[in-house]
Amino acid sequence: MKQNSKAIIFALTAIFFWSTVATAFKLSLKTLNFYNLLLISSITSTIVLSFILFLKKEFKSTFKINIKQLRNSAFLGFLNPFLYYLVLLKAYSLLPAQIAQPLNYTWPIVLVILSSLILGKKVSLLSLIALLICLIGVLVISMQGNFVLKIKSPLGIILATGSSIIWALFWLFNMKDKRSETQKLFLNFIFGTIYIVIYTLLFDKIDIKFNYSFLSSVYIGIFEMGVTFVLWLIALQKAESPEKISSLVYLSPFISIFFIHFILHEKIHYTTIIGLILIVLGIVLSKSKKNLTNKV
């Protein structure tokens, strides 16, 4: 099998699992609060990533870091998994999955805008147009089936959209750290798990029951936070054109709609489909070659 064919298989496998996560979030939240869900998932992901590092014979070298790298892992672990998933899972607890998932998906366009602010890159006219299209998409999705300016659960909308800002910030700061991605992610989850344990003990209690919500949370830890990320990295490494492989990720929110409808039995609003198309269109525009050359 050619390397590029393997890359596509790895990429599509990762996209499939990512497409199931919105449904898994809602299943877990039926009997778990969002921070206990995150606690189970974070612990699971830490175990999975440690196993991957053992297989790659990189576990010991992961801890051969200096103080600056340790501080960096502590900071990145605060952003992701701790803060990002706290905000996102709270949004999922307030919103239908078909609403929360596409709103969170706005992070690529947010990344373009934050790159200009943090890294000093110029913003193209196309980026501004793409941002406007995404914002219109967010507004349409927020209407939840009614083309009237009456947004249900504004806090959920703010949190779901705001989670994209946290993820974009994490992505920007993570790019500056040149260590192995799997090693960085493992250390992030060690710190993130510590943070979520402290948060849970301060504001409530650890309350874990071995039921389907627990199993769903373990699934999230494996396939949202752990293995799938590694599969995606392998796909990009094997691809003849990583850019083309990356474009496959746009399939994920549309595939998610099928799981949300058939497993969660949510009636899919036409505004969800229209808004999702607008968001993906905005993201594609923001990443076009023209966007890299036509500067304001």
Per-residue pLDDT, averaged over 217-240, amounts to 89
- Tell me what the mean pLDDT of segment 268-279 comes to: 91
**What pLDDT does 295 receive?**
38
Give 86's pLDDT tier (boundaries 50, 70, 90).
Answer: very high
Of 83-97, 105-119, 125-139, 196-210, the poorest mean pLDDT is in 105-119
* pLDDT for residue 152 is more than 90: no
Whether residue 296 has pLDDT greater than 50: no
What is the sign of the dihedral through the CA atoms of 121, 122, 127 and 128? positive
Q: Average pLDDT of 49-74?
A: 94
pLDDT at 292 over 50: no
Tens digit of pLDDT for each residue in 28-57?
999 999 999 999 999 999 999 999 999 999
Confidence of residue 293 (pLDDT cuts 50, 70, 90): very low
Question: Is 0.75 topped by the overall pTM?
Answer: yes
* Separation CA 135–CA 132 (nearest Å): 5
